[in-house]
Amino acid sequence: MKPSDWDYSRRAEQDYYSAIMRVLERTQTIPLIDRETFLELWSRQIAERMILGRVVQTARTWRQAARESMQGRMVYEALQRELQGPVGYRVRELIEQNAKLIRTLPSEGALQASQEIARAAQEGKRYSASEENSVFQHIARWQARRIARTETSKAQSALTEARSEELNLPWYIWRTSKDERVRPSHRKMEGVLIRFADPPSPEALIGIRSTLGHYNVGQAPNDRCYGEPLLRLTQVEWPHKVYYDGAVRMTTLARFRMLNHLPAHTEAIGIAA
């Protein structure tokens, strides 16, 4: 299968953004006394729709990868029981996090808009009522877009990590969208093998100061990168770039086997070995 088969869905991001905007627009027509109840209900519903949609879509990718690596039964059985285990826990956690983000959007947007209007006033500019509303709408759209892009990617990444943990698959290949919008720190990570338990600091690797610290693929704000789980050693060519001991190193297959205590004859990783 192609690396891009593991990519998060741009359609899912757009659908999530549209759903968030519909809720925000509808909120403006709801009496103030009923808004909290309305947001509580609908924020959870659209968060569930996005996260569970990612669960279903990514399960198809896992099944396809399993067929190609001849581990179909193992992955099928794991997918059948996953919502009772680590994946199910992560799904519930993601739904709660996303529902909270959506629920607090109106108040955070209003605060940011007020701050923007106050700054303009200090500079001698006065907004009309319609202009103030335009400021709020612009900020709301920007925040909704940021949430849709970041959280769709984070959900994809979190589900991949949870499933990999369930299957004892410790490594993944960092993939980027390979276009001009890829940030320099992530461009360096393209194709690098990463251990979930030992994430890099991409910015530090190229000498950029950042507060992001160490993180796995898909976890940075507005991150469009994604992880391709390493199910078998033949997925990549050797020697290959591997991140370990705080650096990206060209590593031979023999060295990689030694790092993972893999016997010389095996091609599979983790539980499938």
pLDDT band at 273 (very low <50, low <70, confident <90, very high): very low
Is residue 226 within 8 Å of residue 7, measured between CB atoms? yes
The token pair at 233 is 């050693």
pLDDT band at 167 (very low <50, low <70, confident <90, very high): confident
Which residues fall within 8 angstroms of residue 30, CB to CB, at 6 or more apart? Answer: 38
pLDDT band at 194 (very low <50, low <70, confident <90, very high): very high
pLDDT band at 114 (very low <50, low <70, confident <90, very high): confident
pLDDT band at 63 (very low <50, low <70, confident <90, very high): low
Report angle CA 138, 154, 25 to the nearest 5 degrees.
30
Q: What is the share, in percent, of the chain residues with pLDDT greater than 90?
A: 43
Q: What is the pLDDT of residue 210?
A: 93
The token pair at 7 is 């990519």
Could you tell me what percentage of the chain is helix, strand and coil, using 3-state DSSP and rounding each to the nearest 5?
A: 60, 10, 30
Q: 3-state class of 246 per DSSP?
A: coil
* CA gap 124, 136 in Å, rounded: 19
pLDDT in tens, 102-113: 999 888 877 887
* CA gap 264, 253 in Å, rounded: 10
pLDDT in tens, 221-262: 988 899 999 988 999 999 999 999 999 999 999 999 999 988
Q: What is the share, in percent, of the chain residues with pLDDT greater than 70?
A: 86
Q: pLDDT at residue 21 above 60?
A: yes
Q: What is the pLDDT of residue 74?
A: 58
Is residue 228 within 8 Å of residue 194, measured between CB atoms? no
